[in-house]
Amino acid sequence: MVATGIVVSKWVWPLKLWDILIEMIFIFSDFGVNGPYSGTMRSVVMRNAPDISVVDLMVDAPDRNPKASSYLLAALKREFAPGDVVLAVVDPGVGSDRKGLVVEVDGVFYVGPDNGLFEMIIRNGKDVTLRCIDWVPDDVSASFHGRDIFGPVAAWCATGRDYSSRPLDVSERFKDGQSWPDALAEVIYIDTYGNLMTGLCGKDMQENLIVHDHVLPKARTFSDVQLGEGFHYCNSIGLCEVAVNCGRADRVFDAVIGTPVSIGD
């Protein structure tokens, strides 16, 4: 008799077990690695969903910047598969009257604040539904909804547990986000090497890019330009990125998150 399942090396994995193993909860936040915030939110998720893999996708998302984070999160959606849950917390308005959301887009669940963080995910999705989170624990902290509300709800979405919520029309989401452009001509993230990710689509950028007064040509990758030379390219997540071969673009071009870029000749 031949076992039914998926063959990985010499082992045969039952389809049901394989489906459980590949389901993930991704964490996207601006909490950083210092202090208790990332660890305590992650621990709540793991306690409520102990059988599901938890992945720290980013803990250094643009600091208190839901707009820049929205473009970055949308570029990272290539990592998600239907059934996954993304716990995303960039929440400078924590404790205010902003809503908490569970957004389902093409089979992936996104849990976090209604402040525009999910705008680009929603806008680029095909099958989109929103729910407003009504569940609040008795001992909720006014300043840490990531741990006290969004973390548990993300785990319950992954495990199929019910929680108090209500449908929300897509048009009722964060109003400011609905006016944001489809592509953002700004620096939205600076990585550890000093490279500048923008909110522009890398494939669409064939012209020179201008950062302050610096005119930068397009290249395929770092080794295609001379050492110390600046350029822009389509990075691994599809964004237009500014770099200096073996240098730091942030220092060379005096750029920070929010620095505008423009298309040149």
Task: Answer for the pair 222, 243: CB distance below 8 angstroms, yes or no.
Answer: yes
Counting Cα atoms < 13 Å in the Cβ hemisphere of 150 gives 35
Could you give the residue range(s) of every CATH 2.40.30.90 domain in the chain? 184-263
Counting Cα atoms < 13 Å in the Cβ hemisphere of 225 gives 20
- Whole-number pLDDT of residue 17: 40
Q: What is the pLDDT of residues 101-159, one digit of tens each?
A: 999 999 999 999 999 999 999 999 999 999 999 999 999 999 999 999 999 999 999 99
Q: Which class is domain 10-179?
A: alpha beta
Kindly provide the b/e burial profile for residues 217-243, where b requires at least 16 CB atoms within 10 angstroms of the residue's own CB.
Answer: ebbeebeebeeebbbbbbbeebbbbbb
Residue where the block lists tokens 């705008």? 119
Could you give the residue range(s) of every CATH 3.40.50.10790 domain in the chain? 10-179
- Whole-number pLDDT of residue 172: 98
Is the pLDDT assigned to residue 85 strictly greater than 50? yes
- Whole-number pLDDT of residue 264: 86
Give the contacts of 213 (CB within 8 A, at least 6 positions apart): none
Residue type, 119: E
Helices (H), 49-193: 66-75, 119-123, 145, 151-159
Topology (CATH level 3) of domain 184-263: Elongation Factor Tu (Ef-tu); domain 3 (2.40.30)
pTM across the whole model: 0.91
